[in-house]
Amino acid sequence: MFLIPGIARKLAERYGAHPALRGWHVHNEYGSLDHSDHAAAAFRRWLRERYGTLQELNTRWSTAFWSQRYGDWAEILPPRQTQYMHNPTHAMDFRRFSADEFRDAYAEQVAEIRAAGSTAGVTTNFMLPDWNHLDHWSWRPHLDTVSIDHYLDTTGAPGETHVAYAGDLARSWAGGKPWLLMEQGTTQIALRDRHAAKWPDRVLRNTLSYLARGSQGAPFFQWRASTGGSETWHGGMVPHAGPDTERFESVVRLGDTLRRLAEVAEPPAEGPVVEADVAILWEADGWWALENDGLPSTRLSFPEAVRRTHAALWKSGIPADFVPADADLSRYRVLLVPSMMPVAAELAGRWRQFTESGGTLVIGYFTGMTDEHLHVVRGGYPGALREVLGIRTTELCPLGEDEHVHLDDGTLATRWSEYIELHGAEAMVRYQGGVLDGRPAVTRHPVGDGQAWYVSSHLSEDALRRLLDGVCERAGVTPTVVDLPDDVEAVRRRGREHTYLFVLNHSTSPLRITGGERELTRNTDLSTESLLVPPLSAAVVRENAKHVRVEIDGAVDYTAS
């Protein structure tokens, strides 16, 4: 429910000490942008605080172009409907302003709850996957628990990677600590053209995937499927057919399984619940920048770039954290930046320092093209990153829907290409044929004790995975379980007394697990016997000093590293 400050105070005064109260859920899925006159006045106040003077704002917004210069603060409005294109920095600042307003509105209500004397935890549910109006990192000081709603937007194997993406992102927003999955779908996957069935075996594996990555529970929306209203066809734990169904019985079985995993929820005394040597940059500014009009290509997508990079690591069994631009990178071996159009000079300097200290930096195309005000850095692309990457791009060559380029490693790339000059870097892969024949496509540049890579085109999924596998191997990063097939997932979660290996069998073949102490979902003593995990099922192993082995069809061993 939405608690405006006065109502928040009244509710906290009335229910704050109630013995049944476990926490406060403030609002629901923040993210409705406001372009009203009320918002315009607040936007102008925000801009005054940010820029101080109109002269500074005009400079940062490049208002000399198209004669957009402002002579009075009252002339500034939110970026409403326009005939052609918005000023990109104007639009970007409105997104930043709106994100601050969302966070501050939430913090205001938390303050009222605390002022009323309630000490119960407070949270709100971030919405994934495909829209973003928040700067999630800035919410951490105001949230007792990070919580998310996550609904799959694809079926098949990509759906499993999507679950992992959401779990890793939520854990990262929580600073590596446990978090809460507040909503997931029970019976269906909402696609563009239909609601596909989400079968009970998938609900189980998805739930365990969230738990493996730090969730402290697995609530659903909703309890009983509605018979009317806007979400009539949104699934429920009790479906339209009623409780005497396989669907509801599977929910009951899931509840029984979760009770057996209670010990997993005890967080470690220190450190993250999942350890990772690889970090992926995730910044709202990078997302918002690519939503502006007038870019060289309409096929540039921040969320897609980040998700496919994470999916490549998932397929290789390599755990990853997401990090903000100002993160402490000292604990990571590899930093991946799939997409980040605006890169300030200070940020470029921090990445250079990370690389000089022995880290491996991998930069995706169209990253660093502008500064934080969306002003292109003159002298060649990619702006402030030219020095650390040891390259200079002089021509951007976006590709059409049906176009591709050949690379000399035998693969094809799509969407994007560049004319690159080497200035200290070496070409690891080159373009082959066409106007870019022989020009670098993927480069590597030694910097101090580390190295910086640049990927100038949209590699295929297989090519991207091979590249990242090689980068990780060079950096000494290994999978949680070496050489597992793509459709078998292994995640290690750290607990108070033990570590737990979650093995999710998305394949149609059985697995045999030996080693470890006990399998919790079936209460099997692994010190005396092995366990057969059926296809499309899962296991949670409490580990001990003995390595856990996973066998596919009893033929090949895969040993946890």
Q: Which backbone phi and psi does 492 adopt, to 5 degrees?
A: -105, 120
- Bridge partners (DSSP) of residue 419 are 395
384 token code pair? 């402030």
* String of DSSP letters for 20-44: T--EEE-SSS------SHHHHHHHH
Q: CB–CB of 425/391 below 8 Å?
A: yes
101, 112, 160, 183: the active-site residue? 183
The question of whether 29 is a catalytic residue gets the answer yes
Question: What residues contact 130, with CB distance under 8 A and at least 6 apart?
Answer: 153, 303
183 a catalytic residue: yes
Query: Using CA atoms, how far apart are residues 48 and 58, in angstroms rounded to an integer?
Result: 12
Unique residue bearing structure tokens 């002298």: 379
The token pair that represents 171 in the structure block: 């854990």
Tokens of 526: 């692994």
Spell out the residues 6+ positions from residue 278 whose beta carbon is closer than 8 angstroms to its own: 313, 318, 319, 320, 321, 332, 333, 334, 335, 336, 472, 477
Between helix 157-173 and helix 200-212 the angle, nearest 10°, is 30
Strand, helix or coil for residue 81: coil
H/E segment holding residue 280: strand 278-281
Residues ≥6 apart with Cβ < 8 Å to 246:
200
Q: 460 near 441, Cβ under 8 Å?
A: no
- The number of CA neighbours under 13 Å toward the Cβ of 181 is 29
Contact (Cβ atoms closer than 8 angstroms) between residue 445 and residue 425: yes
Q: What is the DSSP letter of 495?
A: -
Catalytic choice (13, 29, 291, 551): 29
Tokens of 272: 């993250």
Annotated active-site positions, please?
29, 183
